[in-house]
Structure 1
Amino acid sequence: MNDIKLISDETPQEVKKYNLKIEQLEVGKSGKVGILDVELKENNELKTVITKQFSQVPLQIQRAVYPENSLPGMAYLYIISPSGGILQGDRYKTDIMMKNNAVSHITTQGATRIYSMNSNSASQMVNITLDENCYLEYIPDQIIPYQNSRYYQKVNLNIHDNATLIYSEVLTPGRTAMNESFDYDICYLRTYCKNQNDKFRCLENMKIEPKKYDMKTKGVLGKYNIVGTVYVLTKKDKIQKLDEIINEKIEKSELITSGTSILPNESGIIVKILGNNTEDIFEKIYHIVKITRREILNAEFTKLRKN
């Protein structure tokens, strides 16, 4: 189960060049390969439950909880890791499959911390598959790349045209409390989406090498340090209205700015959010979740407290 050739084989050359021999635990050793495989289905009681599950430390998932009064069958899941962060040589793979009208909200226990590296890189692959009429809010915490870290993440979204996914990612400049800001070597985030017939829906590559390029120039981040991205993938007949509501309701200010674009063939919406405070970014993300859930499920969203 710890064969993750798919991850390393798809790692871009810009990241692969860092993959030298590790003096500590090498790639593929026990504790270096995290695997999580989860399947969710709606049962006869209209409750979304985990029907299949496999995990290999350092990736685990807590059992489902059901905190929403307006959606009592909606499963909330937390992805957890006892390691506290991602080290050089770590290779993670997460597979989430949703079938039979499953409805879920998935998040993480805390930020994805990418520790400092001197001889290798780290990579993570996330595969999310939604069958017809399934609904998922996948809202992980922020990515924090430490000084001299190298990280590659590929997210494969296989989303039915009649399903709904809200997927977000937030990238910070590093450990600002330790006076680190854009001191990592590379952070390469790739998101690819197709439908149930393997028809292309969208693709985004975000390759950041802050030691080579000034991230604070105009046209890049300017006065901001944190970038958030939200994908809303849903039925075509919902896209225009959702885009209008999001643009109307997501207020802009001097502290934060955002903008939306409709994806090719009206297959979804992408929202970019820039700011200097992760809480401000997530407030906007949760607002987008609230808007989308109301439009798609006619239900209210209650922001969870993780502390």
Structure 2
Amino acid sequence: MSVVPDAFERYGEERLPQAPAFGPGKDGVFEATLAREPGGETRLLRDYAKVPYHLSGTLDSDPAPGLTTLCLQEPTGGVAQGDRHSLDVTAKDRARARVTTQSATKVHSMHSNYAHLDCALRAGPEAHLEYLPGPTIVNEDARCLQTLSVDLDPTASVVVADVLVPDGLTGQEPFGFDHYHSRLDARCDDRLVCSDAVDLRPAKRDPRDPATVGEFGVVGTLYVLAPAASVGAMADSIHGRLEPMADTQAGVSALAYGAGVSVRILGDRSADVVDALWAAWDETRQALLGVGAPADRRY
């Protein structure tokens, strides 16, 4: 179970007069288990979806052999105060899967409480699992907590992407939200190999502080967890791909214990950050699967 930061525990004590947290339509759940026969296609063994999540089926258009795509739909139109959403995806031995969304996640303005988007990913021996949702758009006065846990076999690989767009959907000033916290914890053989968090509170933001996002307006992150890969070579190839991209600034770091690579990308426009993230993902695909990302550039 994910740990809720103290600030969000206090938000959670605020009452919601209309629909309470975990109420009808506010307690979204999606669970999936995937498996693959040797040399065959990846199949969906089990899935469970609860509103506001919906899954129409699997897509097999990915260029990577044996890889299937799950595109989650959310017909409710966005995330509201008091929403609690949970994803749980398991890729069994040799399974190859990508989980994405049909559009950006829109976190609406709030008067009280907060929204929590939780995700757990598990990858078995020689499995490859990607979680690449659309950007998270955070509106004025919103409070959004995102937590993600990864548990992978030493021979598996897991790729996670996240893009934060903090200027909302209206004419508000950028960084008009109240509090955004995104955290990832990854373990391999019960050893913690990556623990990373982005915690932004605009009321305390200093654009001169390089430890925040500085003067930039969009934040992109790519985590590549692949203990069996050549991490140094992969980090170099990603850095070489991103360095010439003038519209963004990026950093590439090797994770502890040779467990993988993390990439942070900053830019002024979401399109630029998404393009850079796609390029980093494409390099990652070449290193791990021997084939690039889908040509439609939709991660």
TM-score by length of 2: 0.93
C-alpha separation in 1, matches of 2:70 and 2:175: 31
Q: Does 1:86 align with 2:79?
A: yes
Determine the structure 2 residue equivalent to 1:62. 56
Counterpart Cα distance in 1 of 2:229 and 2:30: 34
**8 A contact 1:228–1:274 mirrored in 2:** yes
**Secondary structure of 2:230 counterpart:** helix
4+ residue runs of structure 1 moved beyond 6 angstroms? none
Q: How does 1:76-225 map to 2 (within 5 A)?
A: 76-175=69-168, 177-195=170-188, 197-214=189-206, 216-219=207-210, 220-225=212-217
Structure 1: where are the runs of 5+ without partners?
A: 1-5
2:280 alignment partner, one of 282, 288, 297: 288
Task: Classify the secondary structure of the residue corresponding to 2:281.
Answer: helix
Give per-residue Cα distances to partners, 1:34-88, cap 9 Å, x unaligned: 00000011136600011011111012223111113x4342101111111111111
The structure with more strand, counted as a fraction of residues: 2
How far did residue 176 of structure 1 move? 5.9
> Deviations for 1:137-160, whole angstroms, at most 9, x for unmatched residues?
221111111111111111001121
CA distance in 1, matches of 2:231, 2:246: 28
Instruction: Tell me the amino acid that sits aligned with residue 23 of structure 1.
Output: P
CA–CA separation in structure 2 for the residues paired with 1:276 and 1:176? 16
Shift in Å, 1:104: 1.4
Contact in 1 for aligned 2:120/2:150 (Cα 8 Å): yes
Moved more, 272-281 or 296-305: 296-305
Shift of 1:253: 4.6
Per the alignment, residue 262 of structure 1 pairs with 254
Q: Which runs of 5+ in 2 are unaligned?
A: none
How many residue pairs get aligned? The number is 296
Contact 1:122 1:151 in 2 (8 A): yes
Maintained 8 Å contact 2:245/2:276? no
Distance in 1, matches of 2:51 and 2:103, equals 16
Question: Aligned pair 1:51/2:45, yes or no?
Answer: yes
Q: What letter corresponds to residue 183 of structure 2 in structure 1? A: R
Residue identity over aligned pairs, in percent, reads 25
Using the alignment, how far apart are the partners of 1:190 and 1:92 within structure 2? 15
Aligned partners of 2:295 and 2:114: how far apart in 1? 34
Between stretches 76-85 and 248-257, larger displacement belongs to 248-257
Shift of 1:299: 1.8
Within the candidate set 223, 244, 252, 1:231 is matched to: 223
Partner Cα distance (2:203, 2:52) in 1: 30
| 1:287 aligned counterpart, secondary structure | helix
- Residue 75 (structure 1) aligned to one of 68, 79, 84: 68
Distance (whole Å) between structure 2 residues aligned to residue 51 and residue 253 of structure 1: 41
Residue 211 to residue 129, structure 1, CA distance change in 2 (3 Å): same
- Secondary structure of the residue aligned to 1:175 is coil
Structure 1 pair 130/172, CA: closer, same or farther in 2 (3 Å)? Answer: same
Distance across 2 between alignment mates of 1:176 and 1:65:
30
Match in the other structure for 2:18: 24
**Residues 181-212 of structure 1 deviation map (CA, whole Å, 9 limit, x = unaligned):** 111110011110001x2111110122111112
Deviations 1:219-241 (A, max 9, x none): 02222111111111113441011
Counterpart CA distance in 2 for 1:50 and 1:153 is 26
> Which whole-Å CA distance do the structure 2 matches of 1:29 and 1:176 have between them?
26
- Displacement, 1:13? 1.4
Using the size of structure 1 for normalisation, the TM-score is 0.91
CA distance in 2 between counterparts of 1:260 and 1:187 reads: 23
Cα distance in 1 between the residues matched to 2:297 and 2:223: 23
Answer whether contact 1:87 1:122 (CA < 8 A) is retained.
yes
1:179–1:97 CA distance, 2 compared to 1 (3 A): same
Equivalent position of 1:251 in the other structure: 243
Displacement of 1:248: 1.3
Distance 1:243 1:93 in 2: 31
